[in-house]
């Protein structure tokens, strides 16, 4: 298993080198994907053309009625931007989404996707994570499908850009703009509330000898929540293998875990028992779907949970999606012009956006796993990440 996981983590590093996409659309012009200009985000004209992570120029002639997602973060994004009714196929790890069980499950046995199942969904568009191999993307294209291979993400800004891109590809630009504004309002709230606080040292063990290092979505979440990733501080990036001695020397004050059972087991097991986190029994639990999937809801919920765990006395002004929408509706009513208000609110969110942290879609997809017990869960998650592509862990 160790050799298998090592190979997978090495592949994740390679995947992170894939170039980001650029896009063009009728009436929009050319610019980087995820341009935060409200006018661009609100313009969902077709045909829309963008260059994906394989360097292929993909053109969507009209708004796709049938969309198949090959990883949970892309599916979650479709739900968050109001495009869930377009989704006809999802991976097995997206079944936590409300109504996802009514879509076709395109996962293969174990990990990855079944090409025949994908073709059977008869999609107008397939959203493929960066961790899906170019060979699989090519095979699906040879079957006559339109596939967009999404770029990797290593920070929260990447999540916002990916959300905008998916909105443009699927004709849900206004929903993407709203989801991004809600996400960034909560990120700003976390950073503002912890700006002057001492940042606790945090480590996210993945199981076995592996941890989450810098230049990953997980590290980004830790940073945005007022914590400091000790693995990143030591110059470790991606998902490196570390010795017990390095863990003890790093001496994290808090462990980041996915379940209470994980936390209890880690703090009583070496080498973590010999760290400050182990000696003080300090860990913060974040539900796996939100810790590992680089999508708006995940960012909001993970940052909220981590901020409250790292800084229990901080008074962060977090808002739920319902509260955000209610506030937007109130402002629109007061202004008497909802369309004008939408642009105003997006501008406001952009102006107050905090510095982006780090995010990695391919690596974060590790959250794609059904095993939820014990420290070994992290290793399974890392395997799922490459195979299914999340997680994010959760990131695509």
Phi, psi of 346 (to 5 degrees): -65, -40
- Is 272 within 8 Å of 205 (Cβ atoms)? yes
Q: How far apart are CA 70 and CA 207, in angstroms?
A: 25
The contacts of residue 369 (CB under 8 Å, 6+ apart) are 93, 288, 377, 380, 381, 383, 384
- The CB density around residue 146, as the number of other CB atoms within 10 Å, is 16
**Confidence band, pLDDT 50/70/90 cuts, at residue 233:** very high
pLDDT value of residue 153 = 82
- CA 327 → CA 34, 271, 330, distances in Å? 24, 48, 5
Residue 236 pLDDT > 70: yes
In the predicted model, what is the mean pLDDT of residues 208-226?
A: 94
**Any bridge partners for residue 255, and if so which?**
203, 283
Residue 382 pLDDT > 60: no
pLDDT value of residue 2 = 38
pTM, entire model: 0.77
- Is 190 within 8 Å of 225 (Cβ atoms)? yes
Residue 4 pLDDT > 70: no
Residue 390 pLDDT > 80: no
pLDDT value of residue 20 = 36
pLDDT digits (tens, 9 = 90+) for 14-50: 233 233 344 544 433 323 333 444 334 457 899 999 9
In the predicted model, what is the mean pLDDT of residues 134-143?
A: 96
pLDDT digits (tens, 9 = 90+) for 329-363: 876 656 655 443 333 333 332 222 222 222 233 33
Q: What single-letter DSSP state applies at residue 96? A: T
**Confidence band, pLDDT 50/70/90 cuts, at residue 110:** confident
Percent over 90 (pLDDT), the chain: 64
Cα 147 from chain centroid (whole Å): 20
- Is 243 within 8 Å of 236 (Cβ atoms)? no
Residue 261 pLDDT > 90: yes
Residue 274: name the closest of 318, 243, 305 by CA.
243
pLDDT value of residue 23 = 54
Domains of the chain: 48-151 (3.40.50.1980), 197-310 (3.40.50.1980)
In the predicted model, what is the mean pLDDT of residues 206-232?
A: 94
Residue 75: name the closest of 32, 50, 107, 36 by CA.
107
- The whole-chain average pLDDT of the chain stands at 79
């Amino acid at each position: 298993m160790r050799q298998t996981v090592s190979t997978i983590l090495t592949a994740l590093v390679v995947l992170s080198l894939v170039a980001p996409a650029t896009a063009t659309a009728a009436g929009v012009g050319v610019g980087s994907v995820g341009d935060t200009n409200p006018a661009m985000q609100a313009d969902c004209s077709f045909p829309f053309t963008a260059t994906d992570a394989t360097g292929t120029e993909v053109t969507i002639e009209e708004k796709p009625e049938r969309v198949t997602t090959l990883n949970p973060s892309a599916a979650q994004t479709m739900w968050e931007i109001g495009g869930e009714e377009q989704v006809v196929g999802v991976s097995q790890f997206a079944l936590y989404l409300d109504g996802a069980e009514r879509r076709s499950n395109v996962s293969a046995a174990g990990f990855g996707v079944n090409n025949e199942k994908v073709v059977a969904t008869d999609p107008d568009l397939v959203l493929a994570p960066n961790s899906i191999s170019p060979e699989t993307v090519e095979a699906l294209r040879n079957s006559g499908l339109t596939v967009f291979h999404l770029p990797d993400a290593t920070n929260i800004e990447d999540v916002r850009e990916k959300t905008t891109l998916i909105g443009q590809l699927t004709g849900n630009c206004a929903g993407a703009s709203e989801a991004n504004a809600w996400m960034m309002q909560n990120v700003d709230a976390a950073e503002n509330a912890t700006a002057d606080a001492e940042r606790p040292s945090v480590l996210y063990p993945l199981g076995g000898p592996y941890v989450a290092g810098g230049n990953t979505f997980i590290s980004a979440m830790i940073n945005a929540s007022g914590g400091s990733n000790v693995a990143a501080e030591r110059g470790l990036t991606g998902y490196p293998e570390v010795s017990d001695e390095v863990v003890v020397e790093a001496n994290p004050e808090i462990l980041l875990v996915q379940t209470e059972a994980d936390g209890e087991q880690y703090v009583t097991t070496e080498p973590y028992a010999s760290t400050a986190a182990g000696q003080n029994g300090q860990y913060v639990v974040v539900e796996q779907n939100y810790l590992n999937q680089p999508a708006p809801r995940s960012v909001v919920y993970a940052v909220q949970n981590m901020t409250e765990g790292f800084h229990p006395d901080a008074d962060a002004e977090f808002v739920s999606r319902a509260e955000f929408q209610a506030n937007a509706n109130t402002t629109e009513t007061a202004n008497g012009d909802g369309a004008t208000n939408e642009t105003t609110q997006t501008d406001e969110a952009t102006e107050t956006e905090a510095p982006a942290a780090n995010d990695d879609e391919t690596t974060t997809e590790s959250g794609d796993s059904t095993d939820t017990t014990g420290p070994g869960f992290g290793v399974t998650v890392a395997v799922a990440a490459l195979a299914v592509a999340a997680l994010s862990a959760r990131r695509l």
